[in-house]
Amino acid sequence: MQDRPILVIGATGKTGRRVVSRLEARGVAVRRGARNSATPFDWEAPDTWASALTGARAAYVTYFPDLAFPGAVEKLESLCETARDVGVEHLVLLSGRGEHHARLGEDVVRTSGMGFTIVRAAWFAQNFSEGYLRDPILAGVLPMPGGDIAEPIIDIDDIADVAVAALTEKGHKGQLYEVTGPRLMTFADMAATLSQATGREIQHLPITFEDFHANVAQAGGEFVADVFTGIARETLDGRNAYTTDGVMRAIGRPPRDFADFAHAAARVGAWTSAA
Domains of the chain: 6-122+155-180+242-255 (3.40.50.720)
Residue with the larger pLDDT of the pair 223 and 123: 123
User: What are the residues whose beta carbons fall under 8 Å from the beta carbon of 106, sequence distance 6 or more?
Assistant: 93, 95, 118, 120, 176
Q: Which amino acid is at 72?
A: A
Complete DSSP assignment for 40-64: ---TT-GGGHHHHHTT-SEEEE--S
% of the chain surpassing 90 pLDDT: 89
Per-residue confidence (pLDDT) for residue 220, from 0 to 100: 79
Amino acid letter at 10? G
**Gap between the Cα atoms of 159 and 202, Å rounded:** 26
Query: To the nearest whole number, what is the mean pLDDT of the chain?
Result: 95
In this predicted structure, what is the pLDDT of residue 274? 58
Residue 256, sorted as left (phi over 0), alpha (psi -120 to 50) or beta, turns out to be beta
Cα–Cα distance measured from residue 151 to residue 148, given in angstroms and rounded to the nearest whole number: 10
Q: How confident is the model at residue 175 (pLDDT cuts 50, 70, 90)?
A: very high
The residue among 147, 151, 94, 108 whose CA lies nearest residue 128 is 151
Question: What is the mean predicted confidence (pLDDT) over 107-118?
Answer: 98
Residue 48 CB partners (closer than 8 Å, separation 6+): 40, 41, 42
pLDDT in tens, 129-161: 998 889 999 999 999 999 999 999 999 999 999
pLDDT interval class at 275 (50, 70, 90): low
Q: What is the pLDDT of residue 2?
A: 62
Mean pLDDT on 239-245: 97
